[in-house]
Amino acid sequence: MTTATAAAGRRVRKRKRSNSDGLQPSPYRFSVAWKNGDVLTRLSLFIFGLGNLARKQIVKGLAFLASEVLIILYLIDKGGTYLGKLTTLGTAKQTKVKVNGFWVYQAGDNSVIILLYGVMSVFVLLLLILLASLSLRSAYKAQVAIKNGERPNTIGQDLRSLFDQNAHVGLMFLPTLGIVVFTILPLVFMISMAFTSYDQNHTVLFSWVGLKNFGTVLGNSGGDVNAKLFFSVLAWTLIWAFFATFLNFFLGMFMAMIIERKTIKGKAFWRACFSMSIAVPQFVSLLVMHTMLQRDGAINRLLESWGWISGPLPWLSNATWARVTVIVINLWIGIPYTIMQITGILQNVPTELYEAAEIDGANWWQRFCNVTMPYIFFVLTPYLITTFTGNVNNFNVIYLLTGGEPTPVGASAGKTDLLITWLYKLTVDKNNYNLGAVIGIMTFIVLAVVSLLTYRSSGSYKNEEGFR
């Protein structure tokens, strides 16, 4: 009994050490390399490539050593300076001194540059730590190979492995590098701004202020940004995203089902008609609609000439009218995309599902509710989530059509402003980059929570094997 219990305990510990796919952890991981490595292997953590050079892996050892030297030189030359100033974001102001009877301006610190290069230097430090780990593990791998009577891999063998058993490393290196440089680094820079005093009054020199900006956005202190205004814009953003997503989806789905009916002739013609609206740039069509919906625009004049209205309708000047207007016009823009998506799905619904439903005596509505609709939702749930996210950040439709108007007197956000257009106004128009960064973070949190909860509760996530 004791032996069986001990064996069961070993199996549990083994499962814990293995990853979620049931694979054993690498025998060359950092902890094992440091514990079992010899002196040369351990020194490779501080002098990159030392273990490789000692074991005749000259090219790999020199590559590690050159990387360390270049990074250290950068940190000594520039990175260390910016890292040192990162705690204060600069204190030296621009000064004016007299040289040979002439006044000369001497530039002071620029907090934006210090923050940017400081964040970059932090990433360079993380890269140095990563390379140190790789150097240690590579040296230990060579040590183990020699201990087993084998020859360590040459640089040619390592390069060939990047297209064979380690193809995932070779293929993902450039995309990962691009994500770090063009997505993660700017994101960290933007998030950092939320904790500074970078606004219209502090455009050159600013400092860290902690969570003060979050208190401004979520507090009731008044000013351009406050909790009442934030939650008002957030509520309208979610309402807009909901209607812009699901009205487009359901109306586009019904239009696609009508076109796909066996009795409808000229299917290619109807699809082409809807596709034409996609071909017209939104920039052009939305600005044209903006002009037509003005108080003296073409739509009001046309309705007055027909005798349908006695005075101009406030399409864009009244808050309720403007909100309904942007939702309706977005249908004209978004429905063709949904039709294209659903048309392809309807043509691929398994026919045996409809045959089974007809044998069971299901009418058209029951077939729609129990076969067509579940299948479409199963396939399009990820698309709906990304569409909802896109509508939360739908800058074009709101900014080009209404510009966020109407705007109450003294308010920094209009009645049709989304979080993204409000953020644009705060940063580009008013230079309040710190508050804009806070709103950007809050938008990300809302989208992340909604997207993750929706996706994890969907059939696409729970039933990855297929639709039944």
Contact by Cβ (8 Å): 64, 131: yes
* N residues, the chain: 468
* 421-426 contacts, C-beta under 8 A, 24 or more apart: 421/395, 422/233, 424/395, 424/399, 426/224, 426/225
Tokens matching residue 97 = 């001194």
Q: What secondary structure, in 3-state letters, does 4-69 show?
A: HHHHHHHHHHHHHHCCCCCCCCCCCCHHHHHHHCCHHHHHCCCCCCHHHHHCCCHHHHHHHHHHHH
DSSP string, 145-202: HHHTT-PPPPHHHHHHHTTTTTHHHHHHHHHHHHHIIIIIHHHHHHHHHTTB--STT-
| Distances, alpha carbon 80 to alpha carbons 91, 190, 208, 445, in Å | 17, 22, 19, 33
**The model's pTM:** 0.80
Angle at 361 between CA 357 and CA 365, to 5 degrees: 70
| Residue 260: DSSP 8-state | T
- Among all chains, which residue has been given the structure tokens 């398994």? 350
- pLDDT at position 326: 94
- Written as tens digits, the pLDDT of the chain (468 aa) is 445 555 555 554 554 444 444 457 788 889 999 999 999 999 999 999 999 999 989 999 999 999 999 999 999 988 989 999 999 998 888 776 766 767 676 778 899 999 999 999 999 999 999 999 999 999 999 999 999 888 888 888 888 887 777 777 778 888 888 999 999 999 999 999 999 999 888 888 999 999 999 998 888 876 778 888 999 999 999 999 999 999 998 898 888 888 887 788 887 888 888 777 777 788 888 888 999 999 888 999 999 999 898 889 999 989 999 999 999 999 888 888 888 888 878 777 777 777 787 787 878 788 888 888 888 887 788 888 888 888 998 898 999 999 898 888 878 889 999 999 999 999 988 889 999 999 999 988 888 888 888 777 765 566 655 555
Contact by Cβ (8 Å): 295, 312: yes
- pLDDT at position 421: 93
Q: Which residues contact 459 (CB under 8 A, 6 or more apart)?
A: 374, 377, 378, 381, 467
CA distance 215 to 227: 9
Amino acid at 202: H
Phi, psi of 97 (to 5 degrees): -120, 155
- pLDDT at position 188: 93
Contact by Cβ (8 Å): 14, 22: no
Amino acid at 78: K
